[in-house]
Structure 1
Amino acid sequence: MPDLQLPRRPEIVKLGGSLTGDPRLPALLGALARHGAPLLLVAGGGPLADGVRVLQPRLSLSEGACHRMAILAMEQTAIAFADLAPHIALADGPEAIARAQAEGRAALWLPARMALAARDLPESWDLTSDSLAAWLAGETGAAGLVLVKSTAAAPGSAPADWAAAGLVDPLFPAFAARLAGPVAVTTVEAALASLEHGSLAA
């Protein structure tokens, strides 16, 4: 059973931080906004999280501090993405997600409130925004999880293969195994093509 009860099972779309450098990002966000509910979007930390990695050895920062800073980097990226597509609703928890669903809007997760309170998330770089998206999918009983990345997964491959290839973090297969719905990796081009036909199912 999911920990959070929502009016509709969300369809989670993780937008990789590398997409901040993709000129098609505004078009993708616009297409996701038009699709609306029950989409629940998760933004990667992108360059902001990379900055945390650079600071860690320079300042001898702890894993715990970097975990919290990386989650805040995801939050800042989400705010940036929402600025590019104002019809997408920022949501920091189940109440805001449900409100976006009631309004027919896609929601963009602000992770700090939920993720920093969680006790089952390791404070380690082995946990990235991909695993956080899978964790959120489990918490919300999501109908599916799609990771939009700059590189597609090999046909017929599974989460363990993605982790071995460095496409997702090492913890992702374990989080994905908990999900009832399908999990997939796609590219911006493929995601835009799918949304033109009205769906982005995993």
Structure 2
Amino acid sequence: MTIIVKIGGSLTRAAAPRRLLARLAGEQGLIVVPGGGALADQVRAVQPQWGLSDAAAHRMALLAMEQMAHAMLDLEPRLKPARTPAELTVAAAKGAALWFPATMTLGHAAIAESWDVTSDSLALWLAAELKAERLVLVKAPGAPLLPASSDRAADMAAWSATGVVDAAFATMAVRFTGDILAVPADDGDRLDAALRTRARATEWNEEAKEGSRPS
């Protein structure tokens, strides 16, 4: 089973996510996707100052993700760096792979060069490309995560509307048939459940729905 785990950029704006990376590094079948975090924030800041196009800013933000991957590998050397689908498949079979996204994404015709497409949508795009069984978005503590419902399209639209994911995510989710879960980084039990089998994820979703209902 292949699980894509995207580490939210907000988790990299303060202390280094050493514990989270260490938790993921021991898991076979995972592919870790880095958010751009503070490095992408700098692209956002410089774009209006220099009058850069969205296309240029998009490419710079992709390279911010690439730089963050280098940082994560330095923090947790057990992660296995990979750049192509073949490399990702081989690496994930041995342990947790770490995606360096520039090779697959820079200039790709199917990826809009816009701030509507950020690392969340790129992780989703990768999940669809690799036909992964699940995408797990690890979000910062306190992120406005809404309970799951039986209408995934509506859930994804609500995530975009509340800023949990970017504007392109809901549309791009149409081509991905696997599970999509959002988990706060400080909830170890939910993260453990999200990294387990599809059957366990279904059970976790049902528990989440029950917990969201008034008693």
TM-score, normalised to structure 2, is: 0.82
Distance between the aligned counterparts of 1:197 and 1:141, measured in 2? Answer: 20
Distance between the aligned counterparts of 1:85 and 1:199, measured in 2? Answer: 19
Which is bigger in relative contact order (C-alpha 8 A, separation at least 6)?
1
Aligned residue in 1 for 2:174: 177
Q: Percent identity of the aligned residues?
A: 46
User: Greater helix percent: which structure?
Assistant: 2
Question: How far does the alpha carbon of each residue in 1:39-87 deviate from its partner, in whole angstroms, 9 at most, with x for none?
Answer: 0111110011010011111111111111110000001111111111100
- Give 1:106-185 correspondences, 5 Å limit: 106-150=96-140, 151-156=143-148, 158-185=155-182
Q: Is the 8 A contact 1:194 1:200 kept in 2?
A: no
Distance between the aligned counterparts of 2:168 and 2:14, measured in 1? Answer: 26
Distance between the aligned counterparts of 1:195 and 1:185, measured in 2? Answer: 9
Aligned residue in 2 for 1:30: 22
Aligned residue in 2 for 1:49: 40
Q: 1:10 to 1:117 in 2, by over 3 A?
A: farther
Q: 1:61 to 1:142 in 2, by over 3 A?
A: same
Unaligned runs of 5+ in 1: 1-8
Over 2 Å off, 4+ runs? 21-24, 192-202
Q: Is the 8 A contact 2:120 2:137 kept in 1?
A: yes
| Deviation (angstroms), 1:152 | 4.9
- Residue identity opposite 1:186 in structure 2: V
Q: Is the 8 A contact 1:17 1:47 kept in 2?
A: yes
- Residue identity opposite 1:182 in structure 2: D
- Residue identity opposite 1:122 in structure 2: A
Alpha-carbon RMSD: 1.9
| Deviation (angstroms), 1:25 | 1.8
Number of residues of Structure 1 aligned to a counterpart in Structure 2: 191
Secondary structure of 1:185's match? strand
Q: 1:56 to 1:79 in 2, by over 3 A?
A: same
Unaligned runs of 5+ in 2: 150-154, 202-215
Larger radius of gyration: 2
Q: Is the 8 A contact 1:152 1:187 kept in 2?
A: no
TM-score, normalised to structure 1, is: 0.88
Q: Is the 8 A contact 2:183 2:190 kept in 1?
A: no
Q: 1:156 to 1:81 in 2, by over 3 A?
A: same
| Deviation (angstroms), 1:196 | 5.4
Say whether residues 1:15 and 2:11 are aligned partners.
Answer: no
- Residue identity opposite 1:111 in structure 2: P
Q: 1:123 to 1:73 in 2, by over 3 A?
A: same
Q: 1:182 to 1:28 in 2, by over 3 A?
A: same
Q: Is the 8 A contact 1:39 1:106 kept in 2?
A: yes
Which residue among 82, 93, 98 is the counterpart of 2:84? 93
| Deviation (angstroms), 1:174 | 1.1
Say whether residues 1:74 and 2:71 are aligned partners.
Answer: no
